[in-house]
Structure 1
Amino acid sequence: MTHPHDRALPRAVRQAMPMARDVLIEVAKQHGVCIRPIALRRFDIVTGKAEVIDVPCGSTLASKCPPCAKRNRQLRMAQCREGWHLDEEPTITPDEPDEEQRWLIAFRADMQAKRDAAAQAGEDTTDLDALLAGLDDEINAAGMRGRVTGSAAPKRTRSTRRRQDAPDLPKRKMVHTTLGRTFQASDGRVYRPSLFVTLTLPSYGKVRDGVPINPDTYDYRRAARDALHFSKLVDRFVQNLRRVAGYDVQYFASVEPQKRLAPHLHMAIRGTLPRAEIKQIAAATYHQAWWPQADEVVFEGDHIPVWQDGTGYLDPTTGEVLPTWDEALDAIGEDAEPLHVIRFGEQIDVQGVLAGTPDADQCIRYLSKYLTKSIGDALDGGQAQRDHAARLLDALRYEPCSPTCPNWLRYGVQPKGAKPGMQPGHCRGKAHKPDHLGYAGRRVLVSRKWSNKTLAEHKQDRRTWALEALGQANEPTDPHRYVWKPVPAGDANVPPLAVRLLRTVAERQRWRAHLRELEARAAGQDLSAIRGEAA
C-alpha cells in the first residue's frame, strides 16, 4: 500500500526515492550482517528447546555477500600473519579416536575378514566389496583421514627421468624443521627473514592493457591448457622448493588473475633462500599432462558418440565401443609425448620480508587483495577485454578439464566414470565457467604446518575473543548439545528475510555499543565525552 504522503509527491520524485528494502540491505552490509542468511532449526537436547537460528552463508565472494566475504578475507589475513614468521616448531598431534571411530574400524575389520573368506572359497564378493567401499566413506565422514587399506587402485606411474630441456636442481639433505635459517646482526639481534614470491605464466603473444595486440596470433589453446593445469605446476614448484631448501618449507599462497586473464601465484614462504635459487627452481619446474590425445577431433556436431546401457559410448557410425579412460591411458606408449607441458614464465619476483615490518603487512594485504573476487571479476578493461575473455572461453569449451570431462568424447575416448547424457562442449566443471576462466583449483593454498592451526581453529579464536569481549564466554560450547536441521522453504515459523535482517542489525548495534563502552572503560575515558566528540 502506498503511503498517503507518497501519493502527494510528483511521480518523478517518488521514482527517484530509494527502495526501503535496498536501504535495509545496505545498512546490513555496513553493520557486517550476512545478507543471505541460512535459517536452521537448533534443538537443545538438554533443555528440549527449539529455535530458528540465522547462520551466515559463508560466501567468499563479495558479489554474493560482502559481509561474509570480508570476514573470510580477514580470517585468511590472520592465518597468514600468525604462520609467516613462527619462531617455534609447530606440532600437530592427532586427536584421540572416539567410540564411533573405534566401532567403525572394528566393524570394517570384521567385514574385511568375511570378504577374504568368501574370496578364498571362490564365492562372489561384489556385495561385500561395495559394503567395504561404503564403510571407507563412513570412516572419512567420521573424522578420520585416509583409507584403512591404502589406495583403492594401483597408481599408474611413468618414468621420473627429468626432461632434457629442463635444468637440473641441487638437492640438499633434509632437516626436520619448518622454521628456516636465522641471522644474527652485529648488535646481537636475531632476524628470521622470510620470502614473498610472485610467479607468472609465459607469454602467449604481445598484449597491451591486458588485451592481445593481435588476437589471431595469440596462443589461446596454450593459455587455456596452462590455466587448466596451473595447480599441478604449483604443486611441482613446492616439491622442488623443499628438495632444494633441505627443510619442510611452509607456505601461504593465493592464486589471482593477471590483467591478461592468466592465473599467477603470490606465495609467502617461511624461511629464506637466495633469490638466484628461487629463480632457478622456477625455471626448472614443469608439469607433464599424460593424457590421451586431444588435438585431433574425432566426433563433432551431430556426429557424436551414443550411449548404450551396460556397454558405454559407441561410435555412431560403426557401433564400436569407444576405449575407456584406463584403456586410453594404457595405449599411450613409452616413447609418446605428453599432451601438454606447462612451465612458469620468466617474470619472477622475490622479496625478503621481516616480521612486524610495514613490508610484511603490505604483503599480507596483497595476498588477500582479490580473495573476495572471482577470477572472472578481473574483467574491468572494457569491451576489448570482454572479447578477449570470450575468445579464451571459446578455446576452453572443448578442452578436457579432467579425466571425467565429457569433452573426451570429442576425441574418441570415454570419460572416466562415463554415464548417459554426456555431450562435448557441455562440461559442468567449474573450469569451464566464465567466473573461473580455466582455473578450477583452490584460490588459497596453505601448507599443513603453516600456523599450527586449521582454518576452523582460527575462526574459533575470533569467536572466543568476541564472546569474551561481550561477556558471554561462559555460554555452553559443547558441540554435542545441539542438533541442527535445515528449515524447509516456506516454513510459517520463519519470519520474512527483511524482518530477520532487521533483528540481526539491531543485535549487531547492541554488540558494538557494548564493545565501545568496554573500550572506553579500559581507556579510562568518559563514555559521554566520546559520544559528544563523535556527534
Structure 2
Amino acid sequence: MTYDRALPRAERLAMPLARDVAEEVAKQYGVCIRPVPLKRLDTHTGLWEIIDVPCGATLEAKCPPCAKRNRHLRMAQCREGWHLDQEPTITPDEPNDEQRWLVEFRADVQAQRDQADQEGQDTTDLDELIDGLDEEINAAGMRGNVLGRTVPKRNRSTKRRQDAPELPKRKMINSTLGRTFTSSDGKIYRPSLFVTLTLPSYGKVKNGVPVDPDTYDYARAARDALHFSKLIDRFVQNLRRVAGYDVQYFAAVEPQKRLAPHLHMAIRGTLPRAEIKQIAAATYHQVWWPAADRVVFDGDHLPVWEDGTGYLDPSTGEVLPTWDQALDQLDTDETADPLHVIRFGAQVDVQGVLAGSPDADQCIRYLSKYLTKSLGDSLDPDDQAQRDHAARLAEALRFEPCSPACPNWLRYGVQPKGAKPGMTPGQCRSKAHKPDHLGYAGRRVLVSRKWSNKTLAEHKQDRRTWVLEALGQPNEPTDPHRYVWKPVPAGDANIAPLAVRLLRSVHERQRWRAHLRELEARATGQDLSATKDTGRAA
C-alpha cells in the first residue's frame, strides 16, 4: 500500500500514526515502549554500543509491558515466601568498591564537619552534603546510617491509651515459620493467613459516594490516608508481639470504591481469627505534630523569607518557630493531645489458606491485581458523583500537612523542617498531594525482609536464568568491571527514532519466541514445520 496524497484530509487524519502502531506491536510482544538508551563500553574489546534498557515502570499508564513484568515478579515473590517450611538464611553481601568509596568519602566529610564545628564555622553546607551522602549510601544497597542516629529520638509516653484494649503477649521465639498441624492420617499442614484491613466510616456511602457530602468527615478521611502507612507499621508490631514469632508478610495497599486506602496482607503462619480482629481493634497510631487546626496565615497574608533567618511574620517581622522549636514546645506541654489518632475500622476479613491450593493462587492474583494501576485509576471517568467526591477529598488534602517538610506548615505558623525560600501553603509537591495518590504517600507493596529469602533483583535474575536456559544460552556471571555505562545526551544523532528502536526489539523478541517454540516442539515431539507455520501465522 502506498500513501496517496490525493486522499481527503479527513481520511488522512483518521490514519493511525506509524509510531503509535509500533508502540501497539511492542505492547503485544511485551517490549518496553519507553526504553532508555545508554552507551556501554566493553573494556575487553574497547567497543562502544548503544543499549536500550527497559524503563522499569510499575504503572500500566506509563509502560504496560514493564508494569506487567513487575506484576509477575511480585506474584512470584509472594508465592515463594508465603508457605516456606524452612527458615530463610540471609547473609549480607560483601561491600563493593562503590560502597567502600561512599563510606570513606562520608568519613572525610564528617571529619571536615567536626573540625568546622570546633572552629565555630557555619556547617550548613557540610550538613546538607552529609544528608545527601547518607541517601546515596542507602541507594547503593546499604542499610542504616553509617554513624547511627545522630539526632536524639523524641520519645513520648508509650503508655497505651485508655480507650485502646490491652493485648496478650507471647514469649518471642527466634522463628519466622508458623505452626503446623497434623491430621489423623499423619499428614502435616502449615496454614497461613490472608487478611484485609480497612479504615473506619466517615459517613454513609452508596456506590462509593457519600449520601450526604456536607456531613461526610473529609478532614478525618484526609488525615487517615496521609498516616495509613504508620498504622500498618503499628499493626505489624502488635501482630509479632501477640504471635510470639517473627511474622513475615507480603501486603498491598489499594483504594476502596469510597477512595479510602485499605490493606490486603498475606501472612506466613496462622493465628486464631479472633486474635487477628483483637489486634486490629487494639492498634492505633498517634501523630505528635504541632497543631494544624487554626489558620494563622492565609491568602495574601503569608510568611516572608529572609536569607539567613528563615520565614518571618509579615506583620510583626518575628521569626516563625522552626519545626524543632515547635516540637520542643509540644514536648513541654503536659496537657497536649496528639494532632491525630488513626485506627482501623470494624471490618476485618481473615481467611485461612493452604499452600498450593486454588485459594492461595486466587489470593496471590488478588494481591497483585491493581499493582499496575495508580490509586486514582479507581475513579470511574463516567461517574460524575465519584469525581466530585474525589475533588472534595483533594480539597481537604490541599492544606493538610503531609510531613514535617510540608510547606503547609507555614499556614499554621510553623517553619517546615528544612525550610527554604519559595515555599507556599497549598502547593506541596509531595506525592501525597497529587490527585492520583488520594492522600496515600507510602509504598504500595510492603514485603518483610525475611519473606522469600530473596530480593526483587534476585527474583528478576531467576527469570533471566530461566529464559537463558530455555534458549540454550550460557548463564555465566558477568564481570562487574567489564562494562562502563554512560547516559546518552539528549539529541544524540546516533540514536535511532523510537519507532525504529521498538521494531528492533520486537524482532529480537520474535526470534526468542520462535526459538522457544522450536525447543518446546522438540521436547514434545511435534512436527517442527507445523510449529514454524503456526508461528508465522501468529
- Please give the range of the TM-score, normalised by the shorter of the 2 chains: over 0.9
Tell me the residue number matched to 2:4. 6
CA distance in 1, matches of 2:302, 2:270: 54
SS at 1:6's partner residue? coil
Query: Pairwise mapping of residues 70-469 of structure 1 onto structure 2 (< 5 A)?
Result: 70-98=68-96, 101=99, 123-124=119-120, 130=127, 136=134, 139-140=137-138, 142-332=140-330, 333-380=333-380, 382-469=383-470
Identity %: 81
CA distance in 2, matches of 1:468, 1:379: 43
How far residue 471 of structure 1 moved from its aligned partner, in angstroms, is 2.3
Q: Deviations over 1:230-284 (max 9, x none)?
A: 0000000000000000000000000000000000000000000000000000000
148-157 or 26-35, which deviates more: 148-157
Pick closer, same or farther for the CA change 1:69–1:118 going to 2, 3 Å: closer
The normalised TM-score by structure 2 is 0.94
Q: Is the 8 A contact 1:257 1:263 kept in 2?
A: yes
SS at 2:79's partner residue? helix
Query: Pairwise mapping of residues 478-489 of structure 1 onto structure 2 (< 5 A)?
Result: 478-489=479-490
Aligned-partner residue type, residue 204 of structure 1: Y
CA distance in 1, matches of 2:3, 2:420: 62
CA distance in 2, matches of 1:17, 1:138: 48
SS at 2:286's partner residue? strand
Pick closer, same or farther for the CA change 1:133–1:426 going to 2, 3 Å: closer
CA distance in 2, matches of 1:5, 1:490: 29
Q: Deviations over 1:428-481 (max 9, x none)?
A: 010000110100000000000000000111111111111222222246622221
101-110 or 74-83, which deviates more: 101-110
CA distance in 1, matches of 2:77, 2:358: 17
Tell me the residue number matched to 2:63. 65
479-488 or 144-153, which deviates more: 144-153
Aligned-partner residue type, residue 481 of structure 2: H
Aligned-partner residue type, residue 81 of structure 1: R
Pick closer, same or farther for the CA change 1:114–1:412 going to 2, 3 Å: closer
CA distance in 1, matches of 2:151, 2:477: 45
How far residue 356 of structure 1 moved from its aligned partner, in angstroms, is 0.5
Tell me the residue number matched to 2:528. 527
CA distance in 2, matches of 1:138, 1:4: 54
CA distance in 2, matches of 1:532, 1:114: 70
SS at 1:144's partner residue? coil
CA distance in 2, matches of 1:405, 1:308: 19
The normalised TM-score by structure 1 is 0.94
How far residue 21 of structure 1 moved from its aligned partner, in angstroms, is 2.4
CA distance in 2, matches of 1:49, 1:18: 39
CA distance in 2, matches of 1:347, 1:35: 41
- 1:19 matched to 2:17: yes
341-350 or 130-139, which deviates more: 130-139
CA distance in 2, matches of 1:60, 1:135: 27
How far residue 187 of structure 1 moved from its aligned partner, in angstroms, is 1.1
- 1:503 matched to 2:504: yes
Q: Deviations over 1:1-59 (max 9, x none)?
A: xx865345555544443333222211110000111111111111111111011111111
Pick closer, same or farther for the CA change 1:490–1:115 going to 2, 3 Å: closer
How far residue 483 of structure 1 moved from its aligned partner, in angstroms, is 1.1
Pick closer, same or farther for the CA change 1:350–1:324 going to 2, 3 Å: same
Pick closer, same or farther for the CA change 1:499–1:168 going to 2, 3 Å: same
Q: Is the 8 A contact 1:464 1:473 kept in 2?
A: no
Q: 5+ unaligned residues in a row in structure 2: which ranges?
A: none
Q: Deviations over 1:359-418 (max 9, x none)?
A: 000000000000000000010161110010000000000000000000000001000000
RMSD: 2.2
143-152 or 325-334, which deviates more: 143-152
CA distance in 2, matches of 1:15, 1:150: 62
SS at 2:393's partner residue? helix
Q: 5+ unaligned residues in a row in structure 1: which ranges?
A: none
